[in-house]
Each structure stands twice: as structure tokens, then as C-alpha cells.
Chain A
């Protein structure tokens, strides 16, 4: 079935003189990798076929009539204008079809709702514009941003062909074990986002101040990709989701390594200017670029420019405090470790692409804590 569809897809595209750019091209809904996603797929196919059959009947009648009951063929108009029997029939039959549809739909709906008896919980927080994942009770907590290559390509407007998983790749994917019932709790710290991985079979909004719940149980190890689906501002199109499902032992191992890394103290030793600038560029691309833009010009009316900014180009100490504490307009970046902060400050003060040239370098040790890390 899937084969034929792909064949059909590529044939259609080929006939239009275009090449299918991607091997997993689908014309239809994905079946996904969970029981729920398969149930949803079955519902989708059922209602699709119901529509196709009704469509053939109605359009068939209409086109038959348009061909045979034409004035140019000398057809004389009849004069009937009502028939209670047929009108009752075509009111009742659709009603029966609908009731028949409602039964499986209700079953799946109840199944989707059943978050109880889960094996683990993950808190998903939507932020402008990335996702924050916290494994409740397990201590794993990290951010998941659009990967650096996609980020750079969409920002400088270069050709994205050839970028692996363009806009559907992240720096740190959400890792889950297969065969376990996972409960998700969704919230947001700013605007409404929506978390959608088509292969899991559903999406759920992340509302600020409230928790929404959903669950999944992935049956097959693999990498599954999705995107934010509720308009959340400027970079709504650039906050993808990647879920990697692993066998339990691999997952346990991943948790162990992740926790170790998470608890490591940052390396605060001095770095060369090149290293500072390179690290700073990476931090900038992940944390600053959405507002201040790739060339540091900001967005008039929304976000100030860094290019030529007095604050950026003046003394370093107020700048450190400013970035760590945030303002009414800018969130606090206390989450940046001292070495990250040092690098990004060096970068914004000296990057030619931002048009600033203070000529200094800030070493991690120079960062005076306004807030402690974590």
C-alpha cells in the first residue's frame, strides 16, 4: 500500500517535470509508530473513503446530468421541485453514517486521553523559540534548539538544499525509551506553543500558566521529527522537535552520560581569542540571534541593534550584569555558564559580522557572578 502511494507520488511529480527531493515523500497521513497514531491513521482512512464514495456518487450524478440534461442536446426541462421521500432519505442516511463514524472516533479519543499509569514523566516547556525538556524525578534537564547549520542557512538566506534535515534538526534531541508509557506535561513561559511529532499521532498546545497532559508509547526505536504548530512569533518556523526512541539499555546509558555531563563544572581556563570568538559565535547563534539577528541589527520597534550599540561597546562590567540579570525587555541569561558568557561577550564586542570592534577579549575568570549558575 505504502509502496504504491510512493510510486503514485513520484509518478505525479515526474509527470510535472519535477524530481522528488526526498525519499520518504508522502501524500497521505503518516501511520506513525505508536498504537494511537495507527488508530488515528485508521480513522483518517475510514473517513477519507466515506468522503470518496459520497463524492463519487454526488459528482457522478452531477456530471451525468450536466452531460445528458443540456439544452444543446435538446433536453427539455422537467418542472419538479420537491420530493419529500428523497429529501428524508438524504437526511437520514448521512446521519447514520455519522453515528457509525462517531463510535470509533470516541474510542480513540478516550484512548488519547488516558495519561494514567505512566512509567515516566517529561515536562516540556515551550519558549520563544526553543523547547525545554525536564525529565521529572530523573534530574535530566536541557534545552533543545534548532541545529546550528539550519540556523545559519535560514538566517543568511543561502540555499538549504543539501543541509541534512533542514529545519527539522536540533542540537539536543529528546531521548525516550521504547515500550514505556511516557507522560508529557506541557507548559510555556511566554506565548502558546504546540508540540507536534506526526509519528506519535497527536499534537498538544503548551499554554502559559497551565499544564496540558498527553502520553505516548513508542514501539519502534528510531528518530522522529516534528515542529511547533502554534504561531508563536517571529521564529515560529524555527523551533523543531526531534525525538529519539532507544532500547531501554541504550536509554539508561544515555541518562547516565547526560547526568554526568550536566553535573560537570564548566572549564574556566583561559582560551585563545580564536577559541573565544568561535565559541561565542555558537552561543550567539543559539541564544541571541532570534532577536538581535545574524548581523546584529535587531528589529526596529521590537529588538535593539547590537551593531554600534553604546551598551555593547562600553565598559565590560555593566554589560556582564546586564546580560545576567536581564531587563524588562530582555530575559535573564543567568543560565549561561561563565565560559559561555565570556565567549559570547567577546564575540558581540568584536565580531566583524556584527560590526563591532572593541578589541578586547573576556576570559571566563573575568565573569563576576551576579547570579550563580543554576
Chain B
């Protein structure tokens, strides 16, 4: 990985004050929910919210659409792992394909251990400190959610759960009851944060938690780019990941949220992500789904203010045994708003990619413009691609355009590349990289270089 990441580090943030002995047993109960809150020393209102959410989760039905979630056994999952708990006990316990990938894409030793969860804490602290220095000077707050709740309870309370209430869906309810970790980002008025904030830079030891809760608030005229995830595969012992991300983009502000997800192939990745864009605000979701067994993720933007702009650029790659059910939601409430969804998906060896999108233009959202383009590439006979878009238009002064294409790599184009001496694998890889290029070019260089390398490995069939 890039030099930036090599020196990146991680500070051990809060310590868990546990009065009770809490063992990481499986299954969930109201008692456990209360214990989580107590261990974290949370205010009463948060505890109440968690309990309410838990009860909603219990009674809510599983969604009847989307990927096949029938194999999830809620009783067989651990809902809270302390930051000192390790994902695997030793390097040897890691699945071989993950170790192999780290080697092939050149992940340095220390980082391997960190990513794999073998080491609960990253050694060096220097860079992290430096980053924080710059941010603090600008008045920017960037810390983990647990800390935010302690240090900035008023702000958190004002926004938490207002865009995605626990009643939104079963998995938002689950997250709302057992959430732990995640990022809190607050950018004051007019502040432009030049350095992309990476989830990596956060404090707690667990690089990627199961039930992360992220809250980003960008005040008027501010701007920030937040990146989460990692192209290197992350081995997760726990198979259910259900995160919630709420983003508030105020007047004239701009937020870009980039996710590169490559969870190990045992993971169910069910995420609810939503942003609210006010007047002349810009919200961009860049979403890359490479790993996990099943992903259900539909980054959404509610365009509430006039002149708001939203974009979702997404890539989904599904190999054997994977189902990426992803897409976007754009709801236009105000006039002169525009949105764009570009989705690129690739399926091979029996993988399945589904695009699921909703575009809704409300009666008052006059002069809205929407453009959706979904392209899918099927690399072999066994694979599958679906497109399930919905357009609901309620005024006659807007233009909505949607197009989708499903095809395989043209024989003619393959032959052309091979006639230049590229092997079949090289030709297909070049083609796939070219196919996703419109999205990849928006991702920071260090990720995109790895992404391309990863695609090559996938194409060679040497992973999984």
C-alpha cells in the first residue's frame, strides 16, 4: 500500500470501564443492550433509544426483497466485542487466500497484522497526532462515535437518528441498539478540509467494527472528503455487519464519502446510508463493493434545498458465491436539484450483481434533472446481473433519464487486444478496468492503484 498508509497509525482512544464481567457470548437480549450502554457510560437518552430500537428490531419482519438473508441466525452472532478482543489469535488462523492477497498486493508486515486484527492496536502514533493537530486548528472534530457522545453530547443528540431513525428498517434498528464505534466528523462553517479523513485515522483499535455508527455534519460552506474501508480484504470472524451512516450537508457545503469494501467472503454486509443536502449543497457517494458474501447497500440522498446536487458512483464486483445487491436512492424535494447515478457492475464465476435504485421527484421539486446509467458486464455463462430501478415522477417540469445495458466483453474487442500481444487474462482485465474507469478515477490514487491490482488478481482467479 501507499507510503501514507504505512506510516498511518492509530491511537488507542477510550478505555472500556467495565464493572461487570462481560464475555463476548453470542445472541442478543435487552439485558445485553443495557450492558453495552452501561459499559460505555452513556447518557440516559442514548440507553433509552437503544432499548426502543431493540424492541423494534425484534418485532420487525425481514425484508422480502433484495438478497437472500435466510441464513442469518441472530442468535449465533456476537454483538459486542471489546476493542481489546482480537479477530484471530494468530497470523496462522487467517484464511490462506487473504494472506496470499496481502502478499500479492504488497501490504507491509505491520499493516497486515493490523488489518487482520491480529494486533489490536497499531504501534506508531506520530502521524495520527499530526493529523489531529491540523484539524484541531481548524476547529474540525474527528473522533470515534463513542468519544463524540461523551465529549459533544449536545451535537450528537441533535442529529443522531434523525435522518435514519431506528424504525427505518430492521437492520437500522439492530444497529441503533448495539452500535459501537464508527466516526464522528464535524466541520465548522466555511472550513475546507483538504486532507481526506480516513476511518483509519480514528482511534479505537478495531479497524472495522460490526455495527459502526457514523455521523458527519458539514456546516454551511464547508467541505470534506471522508474515506472508509480498504482494498485489501479484511477478515472478519463475525459474519453480520450492519452499519448506519448519517450525513448532513448544510447550505453550500460539500461532502464526499468514499467507501471501498472488501470484507471476507463470509460476511453479510447490510448498510443504511443516507445524506441530507440543503440549499446548493453537494453530496457525493463513491461506493465500491468488492467483498462480502452478501451486500445490501443503497446510499441515499434527500435533496431538501434548492439547487442541491447529488451523485452516487458505484462499482460492484461479484465472484463465486457472492451477491452484491446495491444501488442508490435519490429523492428530490426541492426545485432546481440534480442527481446522477452511475453504476458499474461485474459478475463472474456465478456471482450475481443487482442494481436496485429509486428516483423520486416530488411535486414541488420543479426543474429537477436526473440521470441514471447502470452498466453490467457478465464475464461468463454462470454469472448473473439484474437491474431493478424505480422512477416515480410527480411533476411535469423535470427530466429523468435512465439507461441500463448488460453485455459481455465483445469478442471483437478481446481479439483486438490479443492481436497486440495481450494474453486473454490481460485483455479481460484491461477491459474491466476500462469499464469501471469513470468511477475509479474519482477514488484517491492509492486506492485506485490497489483496486486495479485486485481486479487483476480476481481475473486470474487466484483469489477465493
A-B complex is real: no
State the A residues within 8 Å of B (CB): none
State the B residues within 8 Å of A (CB): none
